[in-house]
Amino acid sequence: MLLIRMFALLAALVLPVVGASSPQTLAVADNQVRVAVMGQEDFHPDRAAAGNVRSLPDDLAARVIEHLNNTRRFSVVERAALRRVVREQQFGRDKTASDLDRVIEKTVENLPATSGWTIAAAATAADHNDVLKEFQDLGTTVGADYIVYAVLEKQQGSSETTAVPFSDSGRTMTTNMVEARLRLRVIETRLGRVIGADSLRTRISESVFTGRAAQMDEYSMFDHLGKEAALRVLDIVFPARLVDADPWIINRGSNEQVAVGDQYEIVREGKEIKDDAGIVIGKLKSAVGSARVAQVQETLAVLTPLSGDFAVNDLAILQRAADAAVAPASAAPPVMAAVDSETAQATGRPRLAIGLVKVHSTATTGVD
């Protein structure tokens, strides 16, 4: 009996100490996963020079983090802590900046060329891949479930100025355009494997008349690209699914640019398919119906079924309207086609004639 009491007393003294030793950085909400986003200076301390676009600029990384936080599904590792671990703990004090560059550059070049929803068929055992093992150890050290690594391959601006037709004052219109291309990788640190990858190509433009201030600046592309990258990460880690049946609800909302009227195809996953090496290369999928968004909140949306029989946990794939391409006309339409009044009323569109009136004409029919 005395021995039992002594053991109980010892347990009472030791357990609080063990509980207190848990790092506070791992205290996240039950419905969130911990993610680390790597910026330009995180792994490239000697490549932080101006003009370097082979990594993820800090301003762009900050916007990706902001939008990941807005989804309320991720707890993002504080970047100062991430850099401290990278430079002092994970890679050791004896490694130089150039060593870090070579490690990460090798990682970027050797990551499997997967896309979107594809599960990488390589590097399932991190111990057999030194490069991904570095990421696995880093994620374990900072308590991250996933590491987002991106490379901004291209960011190029252009400007074109054209004269405004029939402008006596010489007014012009300037079109500013920025194109960008981003490679994205999401690494699961527990198994040390690439669970998803994507490439984003986007373009933003703005037309400004003479005397008007431009609204688009050098950070406008970062705002746009940061949100797109965060949404791709969300799709890789948390695919859009039906999460409730009364009413039908998907785990996407206005924070993810969902709007009333959007239409989703509902897809059901089947059995896993493995290759001859036993690696899962995908799942069989079959379309089971469609639904339309009836109500939107920040992090969820209510669907109205259009067809099919749904079940909770079915995938919901947004049906994006294809851009209507304008085919070139084989012949120019007549300037003034003969249209009667009944036809004009049927179309519901007024016909407008535009002309230029010149004051103080010097033509022979005018007044000198």
pLDDT digits (tens, 9 = 90+) for 350-359: 666 665 555 5
Contacts of 237 (CB under 8 A, 6+ apart): 33, 35, 73, 74, 146, 186, 195, 196
pLDDT of 314 above 80: yes
Gap between the Cα atoms of 83 and 345, Å rounded: 68
Q: For residue range 55-94, what is the model confidence (pLDDT) as tens digits?
A: 678 888 888 989 998 888 898 887 776 767 666 554 444 4
pLDDT at residue 26 in the model:
36
By DSSP bridging, strand 193-209 and strand 301-308 are unpaired
Respond yes or no on whether the N-terminal peptide bond of residue 247 is cis (omega within 30° of 0).
Answer: yes
Place 53 in a pLDDT band, splitting at 50, 70 and 90: very low
Q: Which residue has the higher pLDDT, 201 or 20?
A: 201
Place 126 in a pLDDT band, splitting at 50, 70 and 90: very low
Q: Which of 23-27, 198-202, 306-310 has the highest mean pLDDT?
A: 306-310
Cross-strand pairs, 108:
none
Cross-strand pairs, 288:
none
Read off the pTM: 0.63
Task: Enumerate the CATH 3.40.50.10070 domain ranges in the chain, comma separated.
Answer: 30-238
Q: Which of 32-41, 284-293, 314-323 has the highest mean pLDDT?
A: 284-293
Which of the following CATH numbers is that of domain 239-321: 2.60.120.590, 3.40.50.300, 3.40.120.10, 2.40.10.410? 2.40.10.410
Gap between the Cα atoms of 134 and 76, Å rounded: 19
Place 302 in a pLDDT band, splitting at 50, 70 and 90: very high
Task: Enumerate the CATH 2.40.10.410 domain ranges in the chain, comma separated.
Answer: 239-321
CB-side exposure of 104: number of CA atoms within 13 Å? 28
Average pLDDT over residues 189-199: 81
CA distances in angstroms from 86 to 35, 100, 137, 141, 225, listed in the order given: 15, 9, 10, 9, 26
pLDDT at residue 89 in the model:
52
Pull the structure tokens for residue 330.
């084989």
Q: For residue range 327-340, what is the model confidence (pLDDT) as tens digits?
A: 333 333 444 444 45
pLDDT of 220 above 70: yes
pLDDT of 144 above 80: yes
pLDDT at residue 131 in the model:
55
- Of 72, 48, 267, 332, residue with least CA distance to 61: 48
pLDDT at residue 327 in the model:
38
pLDDT at residue 86 in the model:
66
Letter for the amino acid at 74? F
pLDDT at residue 349 in the model:
64
Angle at the Cα of 221 from the Cα atoms of 215 and 227, rounded to 5 degrees: 115
Q: For residue range 230-271, what is the model confidence (pLDDT) as tens digits?
A: 999 999 999 999 999 999 999 999 988 899 999 999 999 999
Say if domain 30-238 classifies as CATH 3.40.50.10070.
Answer: yes
